[in-house]
Amino acid sequence: MVVNGGPYILDQPERQMFRLHRAVLFDPEVARAERERVFARSWLYVGHDSEIAKPGDFRTRHVAGRPVIFVRGEDGKPRCLLNSCRHRGTIVCREREGNAKRFFCFYHGWTYGADGALVNVPGADAYGASFDKSEFGLQPVPRFEAYRDFWFANFDPNAAPLAENLAGAKEYIDLVVDTSPSGKLEIVAGVQEYDIAANWKLLVENSFDDYHLLTTHVTWLDYLKGAGVEMKRPAEAGVLLPARGIGRDLGNGHACVDNVNFRGRPVARWIPIYGEDAKPEMAAIRAELVSRLGEARAARIADTNRNLVVFPNLVINDGSSVTVRTFQPIGPERMKVTAWALGPKEESPSARARRLDSFLTFYGPGGFATPDDVEALESVQQGLAATEIEWSELSRGMNKTGETLNTDEHHLRAFWRRWNALMCAP
């Protein structure tokens, strides 16, 4: 598979060279091919178990452009049903969320159960031998599996199981889930939905590219410093940020940064922004971690922050707060981002409020950092119109053996190699 007469990436470790052909970020043909080769073959995040807590609870959303209903049936089982009437195609459920015993298509009145079964067809006597109601339920996605309450769909019936595909990403999901004493997290009410006029893969890169922090987020770093957060850079050569961090390839295109924390964590590392009043409760949260998991695991959870990319389009950032975000391409030069906050189910009201407050210091369309990321991505997309420049440079850290830093691009290359492999597969 080639673009403009060349390959998508130039990956030459022996020359310490990695370049990305810029057409992959704007070419409509590439975007069309991605729909089949990447999105129709990968495990795609649909939702969190907590969002449909009770039988009949549902959320409608889009997954790789397909309208779906994420719903818990009367049998208690979560499903992901294509939100398209089997009669003539209408979106059957037009509500954002709710609880339903039935999904009623208003166009001609076909009615489905919460499990998707077709239960009523007005004037059924007019259908002949070829029509069997049992074959016309709302169609489920071919595969639907969960790992620790994170539900994913796959449009490839032959895909490897989710748990196998997640590979090293599981360790990082576990670190998030283990913040909860019961092992149960919940999506907090309130969703942030915003578009970015940029190719979706630019947000993948940005979500765990720590090289950009120092310049793109200088005002956020100033804010932390002004609030009394310790910002001294470690002496180690090559470390650019106030704490050391590494980039890791987790297999199958999943990757992360794994950083010593300086920016504070609701579970459980206090910084002055949280206020003196928060100290006793945060100490108690920390003590609970230690008693349940031991000192080492507690420190692993509380004293590191991690940005995880689950290939291709799920990001779980366990940083100033926990954000789950997924993004859907809308053509080659636009994406829709959906972001949620995630927290332990049993969290106290005061700890929950602190988590949400901490979220807004950095993340989201009104935060002190995300808007500058959006600006960066849109600026890249605009710059790509200079098509004489064919290649982007992504070789940071290729001159190292072994561990690479969060400010290197090893983990970005892990994403691109997997993307390239899927795009070039026979």
Partner 1 sequence: MRAVSLRGEVEEFLYREADLLDGWRLDEWLALLTPDAIYEVPPNDRPDGHSDDTLFIIADDMDRIRARVKRLQSHEAHAESPRSRTRRMIHNVQAAENGDGSIKASANFVVYRFRRNAATREYVGRYEFRLKREGGGFRIASRRAVLDSEELGALGSVSFIL
Q: Of 340, 333, 309, 341, whose CA–CA distance to 205 is shortest?
A: 309
CB 395 within 8 A of CB 20: no
Q: How many CB atoms lie within 10 A of CB 338?
A: 17
- Distance, in Å, from the CA atom of 408 to the CA atom of 397, rounded to the nearest integer, reads 5
Q: Output the smallest distance, CB 151 to partner 1, in A.
A: 20
Binds partner 1 by CB under 8 A, chosen from 151, 211, 359, 362: 359
User: Which of 365, 391, 392, 417 contacts partner 1 by CB under 8 A?
Assistant: 365
Binding status of residue 386 toward partner 1 by CB under 8 A? no
**Minimum gap (Å) between residue 224 Cβ and partner 1:** 10
Instruction: Using alpha carbons only, give the angle 211, 214, 218 rounded to the nearest 5 degrees.
Output: 145
Contact between 240 and partner 1 by CB under 8 A: the answer reads no
CA distance 322 to 317: 6
Pairing of β 254-260 and β 304-310:
antiparallel
Decide: 151 and 49 in contact? Cβ < 8 Å: yes
Per rule CB under 8 A, count of chain residues that contact partner 1: 44
Q: Can you read off the two tokens belonging to residue 237?
A: 């050569």
Using CB under 8 A as the binding rule, whether residue 238 contacts partner 1 is answered as no
- Which helix (H) or strand (E) covers residue 47, if one does? strand 44-48
Candidates 87, 194, 251, 297; binder of partner 1 (CB under 8 A) is: 194
* Candidate ranges 60-68, 192-200, 278-286, 393-401; the one touching partner 1 (CB under 8 A): 192-200
Judged by beta carbon, residue 95 or residue 393, the one nearer partner 1 is 95
Judged by CB, which is closer to partner 1: 58, or 368?
Answer: 368
Q: Which of 110, 144, 155, 368 binds partner 1 (CB under 8 A)?
A: 368
In the bound state with partner 1, the residue whose beta carbon lies nearer, of 89 and 366, is 366
* Tokens describing residue 152: 């994913």
**300, 175 Cβ separation under 8 angstroms:** yes
**Among 13, 28, 65, 366, contact with partner 1 (rule: CB under 8 A):** 366
Question: Which range, of 108-116, 216-224, 232-240, 398-406, touches partner 1 by CB under 8 A?
Answer: 216-224
CB of 330 to partner 1, least distance (A): 10
Q: How far apart are CA 336 and CA 354, in angstroms?
A: 28
d(CA 162, CA 159): 8
**Chain residues 85-124 in contact with partner 1, contact rule CB under 8 A:** 96-97
Smallest distance from partner 1 to CB 216, Å = 7
- Is 288 a residue that touches partner 1 (CB under 8 A)? no
Q: Are 121 and 102 in contact (CB under 8 A)?
A: no
Supply the minimum distance, in Å, between the C-beta of residue 227 and partner 1: 8
Binding of residue 1 to partner 1 (CB under 8 A)? no
Phi, psi of 297, rounded to the nearest 5 degrees: -70, -35
**Of residues 357, 380, 390, 392, which one binds partner 1 by CB under 8 A?**
357
Residue 321 C-beta: closest distance to partner 1, Å? 9
Written as six digits, the tokens of 319 are: 């940083």
| Token pair belonging to 320 | 């100033």
DSSP 329-378: ESSTT-EEEEEEEEEETT--HHHHHHHHHHHHHHSSTTSSSHHHHHHHHH
**Three-state SS letters, 286-305:** HHHHHHHHCHHHHHHHHCEE
Binding to partner 1 by residue 184, rule CB under 8 A? no
CB of 257 to partner 1, least distance (A): 21
Nearer to partner 1, 234 or 383 (CB): 383
Q: By C-beta, is 166 or 324 nearer to partner 1?
A: 324
Binding footprint of partner 1 on the chain (CB under 8 A): 96-97, 188-197, 215-216, 218-220, 222-223, 226-227, 336, 340-341, 349, 352-353, 356-357, 359-361, 364-366, 368, 370-372, 374-376, 378, 382
